[in-house]
Chain A
Amino acid sequence: MRDELQAFLDGELGLDELPAELRTEAERWERLLADFRALGPESAPAGLEFRVRRSLPALRQRSAARRAAEWVVRPRSIRVSPLAGLAAAAALAFVILLPRGQMPDPSGALESGPSATATIYVQFMLEAPSAQSVAVAGDFNSWMPELVLTDPDGDGVWSGRVALKPGVHQYMFVIDESQWLTDPGADRYVDDGFGNRNAVLVIPEPATS
């Protein structure tokens, strides 16, 4: 093949820069390359994703780690007031919806989530005495564990508030920045598509007066 045609196919020469006798050949090559690009297949065979998942041992180890985390924070009574009544139900973790008007000090809310007018403050709480840190990740923060709960009195009960818009939200707790834990105290769950469950939080629209 002549050097000028190679240069054209390398994008170094334009068609109009080629000698006239090479232009027909250049156009033929363009059609040929288009046919090469159209060669299939374009889609991976069904089941490839499943095969990848099945061949990832770390995913299986991850499941074991999650089971261990669930054991560490197994249900026990929560020693916080005024929620002792709920604690008697042996709830491990739960979410409390706090209408905005009932929040005496909204400045204490976690700095995340929407700030639009129709917001509800949500109190997340988890008893995890062995944890060094607890955070909440959900679809409201792109699943980044940025909502860090606090345990100021060191009793192992971690809590924090966040302002969320009404709607259906999914979330998980993240313990020690690595272990993801489904909230066992949630009212509803949804399969996350990866063999685990996300907790579902439904925040109703505030009543209008």
Chain B
Amino acid sequence: MTAGASELSDGAVVRAVLNGKAELYSILVKRYQDTLYSYAHRMTGQSDEATDIVQASFVKGFENLEHCRDAERVGAWLFRINVNQCKDFLKNPRRKDVQLDDATRLQSDRDDPEASAERGQLRQRIAWALLRLTAEEREAFVLKHIEGFSYSEMSRMLDVSVPALKMRVHRARDDLQSLLEDYE
């Protein structure tokens, strides 16, 4: 990548891609792949599935880029596509039940190399508990408490009312409280 290209704003990259310099789309992939992947991994618990979902999200984003209304917020637009891709994946009745894969376990240890084995196990427990939630509850909980969206932002993103989203988050917390009763 050229130094000049890497400094382009999101809006400038989108306009350049739409004007024919399709290669610059890689700038957006570089900028947002970590954000999209983290979300997909939290929703699926699986590295391979998360990678497939993010790949599909970026492809869909490229093919529909002219429909991105606010080029300067293309990252939020791609995130929304990614959320919907995760939703479609989790709706698929043929998918395997989500479970914690090795990447999550390894990451739990990497986050704090000096953490005790007991601490690592506790963190695995919360990752496991997250995957025990229903897909709707997990989606609402992750968006609210991990990604940091407000209920109104979530409502616009998911096209679901704020009261309905609050209900999902509240149910998620209730379930997590039961699942992690002795977590400290």
Contacts and interface: CB of A to CB of B under 8 A. Distances in A.
Given A35-B126, A44-B37, A45-B47, A177 B20 contact: yes
Dominant SS among interface residues on chain A:
mixed
A153 interface: no
Given A174-B20, A178-B19, A45 B173 contact: no
Contacts of A179: 20
A194 to B, nearest CB: 3
Interface string B125-140: 0110010000000000
Contacts of A194: 1, 23-24, 26
Interface residues of B, number: 61
B16 A143 contact: yes
A41 B109 CA distance: 11
B16 A144 contact: yes
A114 to B, nearest CB: 14
Interface stretch (A47-55, A77-85, A120-128): A47-55
Nearest to A37: B146
Contacts of A170: 2, 4
9 contacts: A36-B146, A43-B34, A48-B37, A48-B54, A49-B33, A51-B51, A52-B55, A59-B22, A62-B20
Interface of A: 1, 6, 9-10, 28-29, 31-33, 35-45, 48-49, 51-53, 55-56, 58-59, 62, 65, 137-140, 142-145, 170, 172, 174, 177-180, 190, 192-196, 198
Given A40-B111, A41-B41, A49-B33, 12 more contacts: A33-B145, A44-B33, A52-B59, A56-B22, A62-B20, A62-B22, A137-B21, A143-B21, A174-B21, A192-B2, A193-B5, A195-B23
